[in-house]
Amino acid sequence: MVNNLTTDNRILNSNSIAVFVNDTSQGFSTSNLDCKLYMTVQDFNYSIQLPRQNLKQVGSQNLSFKGFNFQPDVELSFKYIPEVLGQNETNGHFVKRLGSASDGGFLNFFSETLERNSNFYIMIDREGGAKGHDIFDKMSFDEETMNLSGLECIAFGNCFPTAYGLNYSVGSMPVVSTNYICSNVVTERITGTFMDLPSINLENGNNNNVGKCLFEIGKDTVASPTDPLIVNPVGSDTSVILENLEVGGQNLSGVHYIQSLDMSVDLPRASLYGLGNDFSYSRKAQLPANGRFSVSSLVSGLDSGVMTGVLTNDNDYNFEIKFQALNQDKNLTYKVEDAKLDSYNYGIAVNNFMTFNAEFSFEVTEDNGLKFRGTTY
């Protein structure tokens, strides 16, 4: 029997990878930038679609041109467990820095952040991972600057947020998903305590005089990077506050039988190009962003109402999702505003429970639609 297993065990594992993000409002800088750990990441992936154009001309069956007129975009996505300090939301430019809110501590998504972008770094300890070592063991978070020599890095430049989502179901941890559109990706082996920023000067399409990414954690990180204040979905202060439907049916307010909920916001962007520049010089956000909210519940009883109620009184609905920190008196809250009911259904199968599902849509602008409140730091 032939054994096709390789003797090289350097296949990458999740414990050999860490994600960093620059602490900046603009990815390109001629100055040096420090970075922060992108917290509690569960999953990441990236993809590149090559914008190839196939052109023919009269008189030939063959293609006369099969190439590119501009640089391809990079699609980057992460999934992570939310933590009550909201550091990923801030560093990923979905909300302003916590503590800058006036509406009871709530921050509106995308307020004053639409033009912001940053850089992400996927650090890989291939040799340590092959030996079963965690990459965190190689990092000294209590030192001002870390020497990451020997690590490999995939760096993404000029990352603009394009989507945000939250999924939560009974028996599992809440998971946030985020998407970005990026202008550049660089891979290199690290030597020392810094590397060039992977970003592009979007005004002129080059990275001349680009600054360095310094491998030091931002000074305002309160929780330990390796022991963050993640949410507790069964904490005494965790709650889901919904409003009952005008059409009657399953009662959604108060203590009920919610099984799962899913919230997502898509922020489309128009990539603008100009003569003499291979890169998009602007990622113009197209507001309002499109939000979706769906909820699934067991049916405990039915309130009175008629379907025509939605025609005569097409109400707006407000929802609030609150998570308490694990073993801490701190919390993280989402507030969905002015949602519209789009559809709902009931169903039951033999030897099972009756279920209820409803879907809503809402708009998100810089002023309203989706708000966020975490613990200030």
Report the pLDDT value the prediction gives residue 311, as an integer from 0 to 100. 52
The single-letter DSSP state of residue 27 is: S
For residue 301, the number of C-alpha atoms closer than 13 Å in the C-beta half-sphere is 6
Helix, strand and coil content of the chain, in percent to the nearest 5, comes to 5, 45, 50
Domain that holds residue 29: 14-49+68-373
Rg (CA), the chain: 24
Of 2-6, 13-17, 334-338, 356-360, which gets the smallest average pLDDT?
A: 2-6
**Is residue 81 a part of any domain in this protein?**
yes
Residue 267 inside a domain? The answer is yes
pTM assigned to the model: 0.88
The pairing of strands 302-303 and 212-217 is unpaired
CA distances from 89 to 176, 208, 352 (A): 10, 30, 39
* pLDDT tens readout for residues 91-143: 999 998 766 555 568 899 999 999 999 999 999 998 776 677 788 888 877 65
Please write the tens of the pLDDT for every residue from 27-49: 999 999 988 889 899 999 999 98
CA 255, CA 185: separation in Å to the nearest integer? Answer: 47
- Quote the number of domains for the chain: 1
C-alpha to C-alpha distances, 132 to 34, 98, 126, 290, 315, nearest whole angstrom: 29, 37, 10, 43, 56
Q: Is residue 59 part of a domain?
A: no
More confident residue, 205 or 232: 205
Q: Is the pLDDT of residue 281 over 60?
A: yes
**Cα angle: 299, vertex 303, 306; to 5 degrees:** 115
Instruction: Confirm whether 255 is domain-assigned.
Output: yes
User: At residue 260, does pLDDT exceed 70?
Assistant: yes
Whether 373 shows a pLDDT value over 70: the answer reads yes
Q: What is the overall mean pLDDT for the chain?
A: 83
Residue 58 is assigned to a structural domain of this protein: no
End-to-end Cα, the chain, rounded Å? 60
Position 5 in a domain? no
- Over residues 175-218, the pLDDT tens digits come to 999 999 999 999 999 999 999 999 999 988 889 999 999 988 75
Q: Among 110-124, 138-152, 273-287, which stretch is predicted with the lowest mean pLDDT?
A: 138-152
Nearest Cα neighbor of 176 from 185, 187, 165 is 165
**215 found inside a domain:** yes
348 Cβ neighbours under 8 A, 6+ residues apart: 354, 355
